Amino acid sequence: MRVFVSRRPPGTALERLDARHEVEVWPEPSQPSADELREHARTAEGLLAMLTDRIDAELIAACPSLRAISNYAVGVDNVDLDAASERAIPVGHTPGVLTDSTADLALALMLAAARRIVEGHELVRRGEWLTWGPDFILGRDLHGATVGIVGYGRIGQAVGRRVEGFGCQVLYTSRSGGTTLEELLERSDFVTLHVPLSNATRGLVGAEALSRMKPTAYLVNTARGPLVDTDALGRALREGAIAGAALDVTDPEPLPGEHPLLDAPNLTVVPHVGSATHATRAAMADIAVDNLLAALAGERMPYCANPQVYEGLPHQAGPRQSG
């Protein structure tokens, strides 16, 4: 069967896919345009997509032979699950393996924002480290702080374990308990986002939520950019409504270099690197390929985001996950 891969992932997983199917890999380092993606996926039975590829109803309809979609990400907000399910196309994703790497980055962003790491680095590179003084580039402590974790799934819990090692008090919101979002925002010194993007969570942190935060508090987002109202965040930073923000994800994404948010003070932005370690990205590729191989063989995907396509079929447990 023919499989189109929209960019080559690290590791050796594609070798297993190539051994059993006809595989075409997009040759450019940049992602294919919507037209290019449609053209190359048009005759494919399998599609291995990246989180930046928009797999919408139009693309799915343009691929009549498509039998399986494997998304190289834990989230599937770039895929129209309803359109795929109407065609009985299983959609795979890669949960679990990126939990600890993303939690590590969330902690790194908290420290970078509070201790003004990027600002200090740039100051030294510009040759402006001319003296030392008792009030020179003062930041705030993470140890002993109150950390509010919005979304207490795998990644949120992993962040909680890390900050408890810093002697932090942990507040959290989740579907199964915790505190209210309003109380969390009002009490936390750090607010870190770990919920999936959905219609209910889009714009979760807007002007009203930001106004509830302490003026000494920091916002961290390693989940999805549209959870935060970008314009409201820019205003909050410029007006000093919060102390700072550190983002691994943005809206839009990628964030253009001339975007007005980048002119806001006390802002750290990195280019969506939460899972960007050699081991994690290779493990994600292994799961993405496992999902495709199973589906193309007529078997249940180990990690399927729309399991309703398997209604009436016997359950098949997936391999153990880390994180």
Mean pLDDT throughout 49-73? Answer: 97
Same domain, 105 and 88: no
Whether 219 is in a domain gets the answer: yes
- Within this chain, do residues 93 and 108 fall inside the same structural domain, yes or no? no
- In angstroms, how far is the first alpha carbon of the chain from the final one? 33
The yes-or-no verdict on residue 322 having pLDDT over 70 is no
- 166 and 36: one domain? no
Q: DSSP letter at 263?
A: G
**Of the listed 194, 212, 272, 300, which one is catalytic?**
272
> Same domain, yes or no, for 263 and 284?
no
Q: Is residue 228 part of a domain?
A: yes
pLDDT at 313 (0 to 100): 53
Same domain, 109 and 176: yes
Q: How confident is the model at residue 271 (pLDDT cuts 50, 70, 90)?
A: very high
Confirm whether 322 is domain-assigned: no
Phi-psi region of 181 (alpha: psi -120 to 50; beta: other; left: phi over 0): alpha
The answer as to whether 211 is a domain residue is yes
Q: What percent of the chain has pLDDT over 70?
A: 96
Q: What is the reported pLDDT for 317?
A: 37
- Same domain for 92 and 231, yes or no, is no
pLDDT reading at 230 higher than 80: yes
User: In which order are the strands placed within the sheet that holds 2-5?
Assistant: 22-25, 2-5, 46-50, 68-72, 91-92
pLDDT at 315: 44
Domain shared by 207 and 252, yes or no = yes
pLDDT digits (tens, 9 = 90+) for 160-183: 999 999 999 999 999 888 999 999
Catalytic residue among 7, 224, 281, 300: 224
In a domain, 18, yes or no: yes
Establish whether 36 is a catalytic residue. Answer: no
- 200 & 286 share domain: no
Mean residue pLDDT across the chain: 94
State residue 131's pLDDT score: 85
Residue type at position 315: H
Region 60-67 average pLDDT = 98
**pTM of the predicted structure, to 2 decimals:** 0.88
Encode burial over 66-99: b for 16+ CB neighbours within 10 A, e otherwise. Answer: bbbbbbbbbbbbbbbbebbbebebbbbbbbbbbb
Give the residues across from 169 on adjacent strands.
Answer: 146
What average pLDDT does range 46-70 have in this prediction? Answer: 97
Q: Is 45 labeled as catalytic in the residue annotation?
A: no
Find the domain containing 222 and state its range.
99-269
pLDDT above 80: residue 204: yes
Residue 272 annotated in active site: yes
pLDDT digits (tens, 9 = 90+) for 104-154: 999 999 999 999 999 999 999 999 998 889 999 999 999 999 999 999 999
For residue 313, give every residue at least 6 positions away whose Cβ sits within 8 Å of its Cβ, in sequence order, or none: 300
- In this structure, is residue 320 part of a structural domain? no
Domain contains 317: no
Residue 115 maps to a domain: yes
CB 7 within 8 A of CB 31: yes
Say yes or no: 104 and 33 in one domain: no
> Is a pLDDT exceeding 90 seen at residue 311?
no
Q: What is the pLDDT of residue 301?
A: 97
Are 52 and 72 within one domain? Answer: yes
Whether residue 192 sits in one domain with residue 178: yes
User: What is the domain-level CATH number for residue 291?
Assistant: 3.40.50.720
55 and 115 together in one domain: no
| Whether pLDDT at 312 is above 90 | no
Task: Spot the catalytic one: 87, 119, 253, 259.
Answer: 253
Lowest mean pLDDT among 3-17, 50-64, 219-233, 300-314: 300-314
> Could you give the number of structural domains in the chain?
2
